[in-house]
Chains A and B, each alone.
Chain A
Amino acid sequence: MTTIAELPPGFADKVLSAQSTFRSVMDAMARPGSVQRILPMAGTPETMMRGTAAIALTLFDHDTPLWLDARMAESPGVLKWLKFHSGAPVVQDSSIAAFALISDGAALPPFERFALGTNEYPDRSTTVIIQVESLDRGPGFELRGPGIDGAATLQASIKPVDLFERLRCNETLFPRGIDVVLVADDAVAAIPRTTRVLGKGG
């Protein structure tokens, strides 16, 4: 039997930790490809990285339907932790989710399965949070778009390997689209729907 005491804790200081985490995510979203650090730490249930846990505590609540990939959904620790700390309803239908948590990028469903928003309300789209191996090593991706002065290079070791090819759907969908947040441990980077990938370096 599990008791509350066995749950990993949330933020030690809810207010200031959420603020600091939000500013990291906001800076990441405003400057696509830049890697921000998430400083405040909470306890993490298994399969969830420190950064993901902090983002969950910062942005999720009863207003945000949540979709979890199979590995997270099958983890009772994650479900209990999210339910206790955020109260966000976990939904089976990914097309109504405000946020999706992906711990196993290789099993990322096609983006069409998520909410893409409508032309009238493009903001009603899923923000997909993908846990990746690394945001400072790996192949370089050259990014352009709003928030980037010229071009930015994101070095990342990401699954799925064709993530940026898949994100090309954002070019034709705009203003509808998918916004992606990449998390590697305490590092976070964002690829909003306006970001375009030009080339792939070494």
Chain B
Amino acid sequence: MNAPAYNFAYLDEQTKRMIRRAILKAIAIPGYQVPFASREMPMPYGWGTGGVQVTAAILGPQDVLKVIDQGSDDTTNAISIRKFFAKTAGVATTTSTEEATVIQTRHRIPEASLHANQVLVYQVPIPEPLRFLEPRETETRRMHALAEYGLMHVKLYEDIARFGHIATAYAYPVKVNARYVMDPSPTPKFDNPKMDNCPALQLFGAGREKRIYAIPPHTKVVSLDFEDHPFEPYRFNAPCALCGAENSYLDEIVTDDKGSRMFVCSDTDYCEGRQAAGHHGALSAAPYKDKAQGKAREKANG
């Protein structure tokens, strides 16, 4: 028996054509969710079936693919999707943000600024920003048609009335090109400003909900807010414990059952790059010293 012969990048050509047509319309109407005939993928819903289909439709043999899950290149989801395309498309893969031409992401935008030759593909669980406010698709569709987004402002206002500030911390709604209100997928709102005027093309795929949408490069993306309660990105007030970064998005990691915790960069590539460049944080002392001693030993032996 021969090994199973998949088409390049797994999807059949008719499916790719259908997805490609949806991508073109999505780019032409920034922020509008284009319905598409999402296929069953060899992974469960919630694992990035939408992003995988978008990636499969755009990926070519010359591309270099990076996949991140919450900023990390090393989690199960990221590794399995990376291996999936290495196997079905034979593309080169990388963990470096700079080298990648296609970056598939689950819920983060890399810290390093993106450039014009890159495409950022988001995995989206629920593409409709109004869904939790209005469950009927017919109604949300009409609200988008009429640009009737008062309900979303009421929701943000209720946050202020209840908590004194806009408490929405992720999937923070944005307005794209002054027209469509869009769900940026559950990225932390820390990442929202990176979507604005981004030099890279941003594509969003929701597999279960069967929607594709896009933000073209250099497009205005504004986080919804109020004059007296302007949008503010949120970040833990600490430097990264491994690389000392003061401006990156941090994960909180509980280190024992006595309440100890450490804050580290969510973007592993960014953090490793900084450590390699000699930056170190409060808790990187031991491995940092080991490395330094190791180098000293090598020098002594050599």
Q: Which residues of A contact B179 (CB under 8 A)?
A: 174-175
Interface SS of B by simple majority: mixed
Q: Which residues of B contact A19 (CB under 8 A)?
A: 8-9, 16, 58-60
Interface SS of A by simple majority: loop
The number of chain A residues touching the other chain, given as a range, is: 35 or more
Q: Name which of B23-31, B38-46, B125-133, B230-238 contacts chain A.
A: B23-31
Q: Which of A59, A121, A125, A147 has the most CB of B within 10 A?
A: A147
CB-contact partner of B8 in A15, A120, A177, under 8 A:
A15
Given contact pairs A15-B8, A23-B60, A149-B218, A120 touches B27 in the complex (Cβ within 8 A)? no
Query: Which chain A residues numbered 3 to 37 have a C-beta less than 8 Å away from chain B?
Result: 14-16, 18-20, 22-23, 25-26, 29-31
Q: Report the minimum CB–CB distance from B120 to chain A (whole Å).
A: 12
Query: Is A149 within 8 A of B22, CB to CB?
Result: no
CB-contact partner of A18 in B16, B22, B214, B215, under 8 A:
B16
A20, B179: Cα distance in complex, Å: 31
Query: Is B34 within 8 A of A123, CB to CB?
Result: yes
In the complex, residue of chain A having the shortest beta-carbon distance to the beta carbon of B200: A30
Q: Which residues of A contact B284 (CB under 8 A)?
A: none
> Does residue A58 face the partner (Cβ distance < 8 Å to B)?
yes
Query: Is A30 within 8 A of B146, CB to CB?
Result: no
Query: Which chain B residues numbered 164 to 198 have a C-beta less than 8 Å away from chain A?
Result: 177, 179-180
Question: Residues on B close to A: CB < 8 A?
Answer: 7-9, 13-14, 16-18, 20-30, 32, 34-35, 57-61, 141-142, 144-146, 177, 179-180, 199, 201, 214-220
Question: Residues on A close to B: CB < 8 A?
Answer: 14-16, 18-20, 22-23, 25-26, 29-31, 58-61, 63-64, 98, 118-123, 125, 127, 146-150, 174-175, 177, 179, 192-194
17 contacts between A and B (CB under 8 A): A15-B8, A18-B13, A19-B59, A26-B23, A26-B24, A59-B20, A118-B145, A123-B22, A123-B29, A123-B34, A125-B25, A147-B218, A175-B29, A175-B179, A179-B28, A193-B28, A194-B28
